[in-house]
């Protein structure tokens, strides 16, 4: 069972979050603010930290920076409220792994927590660096089956780590971005599911997805992932077989207000967590690039879209 440290100064909100996570099979510890959270981390490390952004004494941004500096293997998921978008964007650039808008806690929190925990970087005893490997290329072709995404992402994490491109903390952020991109290719690309459906009733969204997985032309479509790894960078090109879309309609990654835009969460995460993000003209192919990081280096500048 995953163990999560929830950092929330409001007892009512903390109780709600605890209920949502425990109902989803997560073991929960509580801390009333950032200082209490750091004291708890000294006693033992959880699988993940979930923190509100707006707290007295030490806010969520300061906690993200402290956890990243002292306990880099522990991922942090933010809870964002309206008006905190700019701080949330800074926290993502400073090392947070993902975020959930406060208005969507009941729908998304448990799902995001399970996703991030499932993509945790390799344990220290499993880390093996191959000094002789200079370049690696591979191609994967996936059906529209999301159960295959997590195993594939874990395999790619291992390959990136073996190449020595980034540390274990950054691997989790890489994994979050990859998962979002591949799931988007399946759901929005091949199955042509409109994210607006999730706003009214998420059951309708998932029900339509199950139907289309068995219908032509959706069931014949595949997602292709081309991977190129060198000692200087990792490149992932993800292509679906759907009709595509106009990339110019995507939310502006430099505008923090788009963190809470309906349907824009996945793209915002990808663009914030990766160094470069490019779409082809048709809009059915996305290329994600992660550059080599020096030990302890954190990118404060955000992604470069090209």
pLDDT for residue 300: 41
Neighbours of 177 (CB within 10 A): 24
pLDDT for residue 83: 64
pLDDT for residue 268: 78
pLDDT for residue 1: 81
pLDDT for residue 122: 55
Reported as a single tens digit per residue, the pLDDT across 50-75 is 999 888 888 889 999 999 999 988 99
pLDDT for residue 306: 37
CA distance linking residue 274 with residue 271, whole number of Å: 6
pLDDT for residue 131: 63
Domains and CATH numbers, the chain: 3-118 (3.40.50.2300), 130-305 (3.30.565.10)
Residue 139 sits at φ, ψ, to 5 deg, of -135, 135
pLDDT for residue 103: 87
pLDDT for residue 303: 39
**pTM of full prediction above 0.75:** yes
Residue 274 sits at φ, ψ, to 5 deg, of -105, 160
Q: Block means of pLDDT (10 residues each) for the chain, length 306 residues?
A: 93 95 96 94 95 88 92 91 77 89 90 87 52 86 95 91 84 92 96 83 89 96 97 96 87 61 69 91 96 61 39
**Residues 145 and 111: beta-carbon distance below 8 Å:** no
Reported as a single tens digit per residue, the pLDDT across 215-233 is 999 999 999 999 999 999 9
């Amino acid at each position: 069972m995953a163990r999560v440290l929830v950092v929330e100064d409001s007892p009512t909100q903390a109780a709600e979050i605890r209920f949502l996570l425990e109902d989803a099979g997560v073991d929960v510890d509580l801390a009333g603010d950032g200082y209490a959270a750091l004291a708890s981390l000294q006693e033992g490390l959880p699988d993940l930290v979930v923190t509100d952004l707006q707290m007295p004494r030490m806010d969520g941004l300061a906690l993200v920076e402290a956890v990243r500096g002292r306990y880099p293997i522990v991922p942090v998921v933010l809870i964002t409220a309206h008006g905190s978008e700019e701080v949330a964007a800074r926290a993502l650039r400073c090392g947070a792994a993902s975020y959930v808008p406060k208005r969507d806690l009941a729908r998304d929190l448990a799902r995001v927590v399970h996703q991030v925990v499932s993509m945790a970087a390799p344990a220290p005893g499993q880390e093996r660096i191959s000094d002789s490997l200079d370049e690696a290329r591979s191609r994967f072709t996936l059906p529209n089956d999301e159960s295959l995404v997590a195993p594939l992402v874990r395999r790619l994490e291992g390959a990136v780590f073996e190449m020595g491109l980034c540390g274990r903390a950054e691997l989790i952020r890489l994994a979050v971005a990859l998962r979002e991109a591949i799931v988007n290719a399946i759901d929005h690309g091949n199955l042509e599911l409109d994210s607006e459906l999730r706003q009214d009733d998420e059951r309708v969204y998932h029900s339509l997805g199950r139907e289309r997985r068995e219908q032509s032309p959706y069931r014949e479509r595949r997602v292709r992932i081309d991977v190129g790894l060198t000692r200087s960078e990792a490149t992932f090109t993800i292509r679906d077989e759907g009709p595509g879309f106009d990339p110019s309609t995507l939310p502006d990654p430099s505008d923090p207000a788009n963190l809470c835009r309906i349907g824009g969460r996945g793209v915002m995460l990808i663009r914030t967590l990766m160094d470069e993000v490019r779409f082809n003209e048709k809009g059915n192919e996305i290329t994600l690039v992660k550059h080599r990081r020096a030990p302890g280096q954190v990118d404060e500048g955000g992604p470069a879209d090209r």
